Structure 1
Amino acid sequence: MIYFLAFLGGGLVIILLLISIFNRFVKNRNTVKDAWSNIDVALKRRYDLIPNLVETVKGYAAHEKTTLENVIHARNAAMAVPKDDINGQIKAENALQQTLRSIFALGEAYPDLKANTNFINLQEKLNEIEENLERSRRYYNGTVRENNTYGESFPGVLFAGIFNYTHFDFFEAEAASRENVKVDFS
């Protein structure tokens, strides 16, 4: 009888441990998705602002058609990525960020555009959105770090496959976006 109770108690402890591990995977995954939803809201605001920015720049830099088309193409590509493909959205957003930098480089090259109040207002709004994105990105990366660490360390690594562990990519700036944009009108 004592062996049976010990066996039953040991089984119960193992079941409770498995439930705890499973719940941790679910909590981590949901926290990452929640953090991404904060980023998604800021991205939507950015998507809505980009056409206004492009239209403002068009009037001053009509011969910069390629730059403006690249921005719109990058925006549309980012919007086309399925919402559940977080890693794909990160790649598309990095490409969009790079093209947006080229628009502000145009602002430096055209003094009249740089002085345009509409352009200045749009630039300020975009800067506000980018600051919000940066805060959300830091929070998201923290939740990703916690999720990935748990899924890749003991005991999580033992049960990652069984409990459908999801590895998420960090939302970081690509190396190309860290460089200064070069504008050459020669």
Structure 2
Amino acid sequence: MSFYLILLGIFLLLALFGVSVFNKFIKNKNQVKDAWSNIDVALKRRYDLIPNLVETVKGYASHEKDTLERVIQARNAAMSVPSDDINAQIKAENQLQQTLRSIFALGEAYPDLKANLNFIDLQKKLSEIEEALERSRRFYNSTVRENNTYGESFPGVIFAGMMPYKSFNYFEVDAAERENVKVDFS
């Protein structure tokens, strides 16, 4: 009789441990999704601001059509990525960020544009959005770190294949974004 109670106790402990591990996987995944939703809100604000920025720049730098088209294409590409594909969204956002840098390089090259109040206001709003994105990215990356560490360390690594574990990519700056923007007017 006591043997069966011991077996039952061991079984119950293992079941509770399994439920605990399962819940941790779910909690981590939901935290990553929540953190990404904060980024998603800021990205939506950025997407809404970009057409106004491009239109303002068009008036001063109409012969920079290629640069402006690349920005719009990058914006449209980023907006078209499925919202549940976080890793693809990160890649698209890095490309958009790179093209946005080229618009501000144009601002430096055209003093009249740089002095335009609308351009200054849009630049300020975009800067505020970028600051919010930076905070959201840090929070997102910390939740990704927690999720990935749990799934890749003991005991999570043992159960990761059997449970709803998903590894997420960090939202990192790509190599192209670390370089200075090259503006050539020749």
TM over 0.5: yes
Alignment match, 1:130: 130
The answer to whether 1:70 aligns with 2:70 is yes
What does 1:140-151 align with in structure 2 at a 5 Å threshold?
A: 140-151=140-151
What does 1:82-101 align with in structure 2 at a 5 Å threshold?
A: 82-101=82-101
SS at match of 1:161: coil
Q: Distance in 1 between matches of 2:176 and 2:30?
A: 31
Structure 1 residue 184: Cα displacement: 1.3
User: How far does the alpha carbon of each residue in 1:41-68 deviate from its partner, in whole angstroms, 9 at most, with x for none?
Assistant: 0000000000000000000000000000
The answer to whether 1:110 aligns with 2:105 is no
Q: Distance in 1 between matches of 2:166 and 2:75?
A: 27
SS at match of 1:83: coil
Q: Distance in 1 between matches of 2:7 and 2:180?
A: 66
> How many residues in Structure 1 have an aligned counterpart in Structure 2?
186
Structure 1 residue 180: Cα displacement: 1.0
- More divergent stretch after superposition (161-170 vs 21-30): 161-170
User: How far does the alpha carbon of each residue in 1:158-185 deviate from its partner, in whole angstroms, 9 at most, with x for none?
Assistant: 1111112100000011011011101111
Alignment match, 1:20: 20
* Percent identity (aligned): 76
Alignment match, 1:160: 160
Is the 8 Å Cα contact of residues 26 and 164 (structure 2) preserved in structure 1?
A: no
Q: Distance in 2 between matches of 1:81 and 1:185?
A: 33
Structure 1 residue 101: Cα displacement: 0.2
User: How far does the alpha carbon of each residue in 1:86-119 deviate from its partner, in whole angstroms, 9 at most, with x for none?
Assistant: 0000000000000000000000000000000000
Question: Would you identify which runs of 4 or more consecutive aligned residues in structure 1 move more than 4 Å?
Answer: none
SS at match of 1:16: helix
Gaps of 5+ in 1: none
**C-alpha RMSD of matched pairs (Å):** 0.4
Output the amino acid matched with 2:63. H
The answer to whether 1:185 aligns with 2:185 is yes
Output the amino acid matched with 2:148. N
Q: TM-score, normalised by structure 2?
A: 0.99
SS at match of 1:181: coil
Q: Distance in 1 between matches of 2:56 and 2:8?
A: 72
Gaps of 5+ in 2: none
